[in-house]
Structure 1
Amino acid sequence: MSEKHLAVVVLAAGEGTRMRSTTPKVMHELAGLPLLGHVLATATSLGAAHVIPVIRHQKEALTNYINTFYPTVEIAHQDEVAGTGRAVECGLEALPADFTGAVIVTSGDVPLLDVPTLESLLEAHLEGDFAASVLTAIVDDPTGYGRVIRSNDGKFLQIIEQSDADSEQLEISEVNAGIYVFDAQYLRAALANVGSHNAQGEKYLTDVAAELLNQGKKVQALAVSDNWLVAGINDRVQLSEVAAELNFRICEAWQRAGVTILDPATTWIDITVQIGEDATILPGTFLKGMTSIGSGSTIGPEVVMTDTLVEADATVIKSHVSASKIGEGATVGPFAYLRPGTDLGANGKIGTFVETKNAKIGAGSKVPHLSYVGDAEIGEQSNIGAGTIFANYDGINKHKSVIGSHVKTGSHNVFVAPITIGDGAYTAAGTVVRKDVASGDLAMNVAPQRNLAGWVIANRPGTKSAEASKN
């Protein structure tokens, strides 16, 4: 089918009360995207001429998201008339009046639905010259779903919503998945004839299929082979169930692509993450957002990483990393905290209990332990001593420190920004650096050490220290 003869209507107008949330249901996150984001990504990948999400509740939040990430789609607004049938009518109103062809209708809360499934449904619909095609699922517990009614020879007859079904119909295990393909002209005409004479007083889209059959049109119902593909999300229990299934599939896909994931059950990877071959992801790791892991790198255990670029053969252990860059062969952790703007060069090191923010650390340079590096630039092959603090804030403004290459700083230093330390300079242990240090200089401000003889015996008589000092 030509792109210009295909439209996709995405139903996203529901209030989602079972989520018990101020966030719209379709905006709850799953593997790095809102539920609606997953559905729109699939819909736009079909190459349809028109993709139309239909929204109603909390329009501003939905509109902002759609316009930001899917600016080419056409938003439709459902009025106060309730029901899925009315939602589709509102979606059709966004189409050109002379539009002909197929209309796929799907839901904004079915995030695992994929392109191959929709393409197969569309192909079967077009090849059989059907007026409507309904995707169904055979489930163990059909509670809450519309039941698919078939004739004795298996032909589709209608869909009965649970609230309208009798006791015999409630025993049916084949349910409506809420995904359809319609001929646009037939859909418009059938919707005009569908009423709201049901227990909910709503205009059901499901009644369109029965209406088309009454008109003598061909309607088919096809069962999906994988029920997860049509799993809808109405509450947070279902959200967690679908999240676990999607995460398992993401992990399995990366394993088959050459990534070692020791324990997929405790490894969570957003769908937006990229991982190179021969990378190893250890248990308790969360890879989020636009994170990219280079080949041969080892991440974990117990790492949370968001929007971070890790180049090849790097190692990150038990650390929290956000909006940072970790160079080839570099090491991070354990217990490091890399805040946004951290850029660690090749073969560099950010070690135990180190926090960095807006810090560029050159190739081969090391901040091994117990330090804060904020608003700083460190050259290549420098070493920052234990317990060093980059004092970047004067109470009003942040200031930058610049440390050259091949610099060696002593333990327990404080660099009071703004300062510059030249290439090859040294600082002594315990130094508070308030002025620039020229290349090759040694900075120190410690007073000469004084030892007061007999002080403990004189000032702490009777203590164990005093007794020990007499020996």
Structure 2
Amino acid sequence: MSNRYAIILAAGKGTRMKSKLYKVLHQVCGKPMIRHVVDETRKADFSKLYVIVGHGADAVAATVGNEGECLLQKEQLGTGHAVLQAADQLADVDGTTVVLNGDTPLITHQTIEKLMRIQEEQAAAAAVLTAMVDDPTGYGRIIRDESGNVAKIVEEKDANSDEKRVKEINTGIYSFDNRKLFRLLKQVTNNNAQGEYYLPDVISLLVQSSEKVTVYTTEHFEETVGVNDRIQLAAAGKYMQERINRNMMENGVTLIDPDSTYLSAECTIGKDTIIYPGTVVTGASHIGNGCIIGPHSQIKNCAVGDETEIDQSVLEDSWIGSQVQIGPFAHIRPLSKIHDQAKVGNFVEVKNTEIGERSKASHLTYLGDATLGKDVNMGCGTITVNYDGKNKFATKIGDGAFIGCNANLIAPVTIGDGAFVAAGSTITKSVNDNALAIARSRQTNKEDYALKLNYRVNH
């Protein structure tokens, strides 16, 4: 692996987010911003990744996990001061160091790699990622000399009227010769409007030392946009969703209306699957080939096999086989397992339950803490009564069993293979294989008794 290092700045609190959650932990398409940046950085060729943390250091470090080494910036005194927190690790090391921001979730590893390559191929002391924008308000400006070379970077609050009209902006992403970066960081002062130590001042010091500074002007400005408030968070989410959806379609997934389809950054979907409008797929969900999903379905952290149909239903933390039919209006709750060719139909709720191949619960059924074998039929309105107010109990139904409508199966109970439970029964004892269970009161009709009840409405 090459001598390349990455530093991600993630110490800010994010006051403008107006949130108890630290800025870089806010999610874009289901993943914290810092994870987007870390994951893209890990795709590039780096020997080591460092994340500078401050506000919410423990929470940010937990989100980064083992993907990078977190270094604490006790006081937030500017971007230059933040990078200095890695001096003990990098100051005496040869190589290239890229500095990124933890609140730029749209950055891609391709852009990072191109920035490094330009700096290294030109033997430059630094390369600055820049962009041309119509409205540069809020960004540092790239100030060039008469020959077109970078002369300095001026922050918005320190810029004069002429400098503020410059439309080439600093994105805050750099590639440096590592030794030169840390040598000059010690010379940066805080003589500016904010009283902070600015990392861009290193660029000015390099120019003053006659070191070569080059730029890479990206054509994809949205990659570099930082998130400082909820409005920018929504904009970043829209850009990210467009990227995810476009990638899905390029790889063989049909999205009927991409603008109303919401897919997480970590989900995967197979070829020839059709996603209808209003569908939301979150977490690390995987949907197989040739499925039909939606409209208006929610799928969270589920594995779905091939050629399965899910119609206007909610699924979470469960495994779904191939050629399964779910919905409309079904709810698959966590820890459920639905095997191939099974059916979970209208207004059926399933929780911590395994349903065997070709088994059916077509409508108005609750299955909780149950195990169904193959080819089981669950009648309309059937309930596994799994909770006594303190404890949950299991129901087991064997292969080929037939459960009639409006049956109550009082757990713990076992229904044997091929058994038949008559409609309207309340089952409190296990039923043997191939047995018929009837558990209901004998019907009694009292002639003309309804007249005594006097419940009719007089018109």
TM-score calculated relative to the size of structure 1: 0.95
Classify the secondary structure of the residue corresponding to 1:243. helix
The question of 1:426 aligning with 2:424 is answered no
Tell me how far 1:462 sits from its aligned partner.
Answer: 7.0
Structure 1 runs not aligned, ≥5 long = none
Q: Deviations over 1:26-49 (max 9, x none)?
A: 111112321000111111221211
Q: Which amino acid in 2 is paired with 1:20?
A: K
**Residues of 2 paired with 1:134 and 1:187: CA distance?**
13
2:445 corresponding residue in structure 1: 451
Out of 69, 88, 95, the residue aligned to residue 93 of structure 1 is 88
Matching residue of 1:213: 207
**In 2: Cα distance, 1:345 partner to 1:120 partner:** 47
What residue ranges of structure 2 are gaps of 5+ in the alignment?
none
Aligned to 2:77: 82
Q: 1:30 & 1:459 partners in 2: Cα distance? A: 62
CA contact (8 A) 2:118 2:216 kept: no
Contact 2:130/2:169 (8 A) holds in 1: yes
* 3-state SS, counterpart of residue 371 of structure 2: strand
Q: Does 1:351 align with 2:337?
A: no
Q: Is the counterpart of residue 179 in structure 1 residue 173 in structure 2?
A: yes
Which residue is equivalent to 2:100?
106
- Aligned pairs for 1:27-426 (under 5 A) are 27-67=25-65, 71-80=66-75, 82-95=77-90, 97-426=91-420
Deviations 1:231-257 (A, max 9, x none): 111111111111111111111111111
Distance across 1 between alignment mates of 2:325 and 2:420: 24
Which deviates more from structure 2 when the two are superposed, residues 287-296 or residues 147-156? 147-156
Contact 1:331 1:351 in 2 (8 A): yes
Which residue in the other structure is 2:431 paired with?
A: 437
CA drift of 1:4 comes to: 4.1
Q: 8 Å contact 2:53–2:70 — kept in the other structure?
A: yes
1:459 Cα shift? Answer: 3.6
Residue of structure 1 equivalent to 2:12: 14
SS in 1 for 2:134: coil
Q: CA deviation at 1:345?
A: 1.1
2:75 alignment partner AA: E
Letter in structure 2 aligned against 1:268: Y
Q: Distance in 1 between matches of 2:12 and 2:88?
A: 19
Task: Measure the CA separation in 2 of the matches of 1:461 and 1:137.
Answer: 78
Tell me the SS of whatever aligns to 2:365: strand
CA-CA distance at 1:87 after TM superposition: 0.4
Report the secondary structure of 2:340's partner residue.
coil
1:39 maps to amino acid: V
Change (3 A) 1:115 1:12: same
Partner AA of 2:272 in structure 1: D
Q: How far 1:293 sits from its partner (Å)? A: 0.7
- Cα RMSD (Å): 1.4
2:314 partner letter: H
CA shift, 1:72, in A, is 4.7
- Aligned 8 A contact 1:52 1:94 in 2: no
Distance 1:332 1:232 in 2: 41
* Residue type of the alignment partner of 1:429: A
The alignment partner of 1:168 has SS state of helix
Residues 1:117 and 1:462: Cα distance change in structure 2 (over 3 Å):
closer
2 CA distance for matches of 1:215 and 1:461?
99
Looking at structure 1, the residues matched to 279 and 67 of structure 2 have their Cα atoms a distance apart, in angstroms, of 35
Helix, strand or coil for the counterpart of 1:75? strand
Task: Find the residue that maps to 2:97 and give its secondary structure.
Answer: strand
Cα distance in structure 1, aligned partners of 2:453 and 2:271 = 66
Aligned residues of 2:263 and 2:280 also touching (Cα < 8 A)? yes
1:53/1:91 contact within 8 Å kept? no
Q: Distance in 2 between matches of 1:460 and 1:79?
A: 79
The letter for the 2-side match of 1:257 is N
1:363–1:380: 8 Å Cα contact kept in structure 2? yes
Counterparts of 1:338 and 1:45, CA distance in 2 = 35
Q: Residue 420 of structure 1 aligns to a residue in which SS?
A: strand
8 Å CA contact 2:11–2:76 kept in 1: the answer is: no
In structure 2, distance between residues paired with 1:292 and 1:409:
32
TM-score between the two structures when normalised by the length of structure 2: 0.97
Contact in 1 for aligned 2:12/2:76 (Cα 8 Å): no
Shift of 1:463: 5.0
Deviation at 1:209, TM superposition (A): 0.0
Tell me the CA shift for residue 461 of structure 1: 8.3
**1:336-376 deviations in whole A, cap 9, x for unaligned?**
11011111111101111111111000000011111110000
What is the SS of the residue equivalent to 1:120?
A: helix
TM-superposed deviation, 1:452: 1.2
Q: Does the residue aligned with 1:340 lie in a helix, a strand or coil?
A: coil
| C-alpha separation in 1, matches of 2:183 and 2:453 | 100
Deviations 1:393-415 (A, max 9, x none): 11221110000111111111111
Counterpart amino acid of 1:360? Answer: E
Aligned equivalents of 2:77, 2:422: Cα separation in 1: 74
> In structure 2, what is the Cα distance between the partners aligned to 1:177 and 1:206?
10
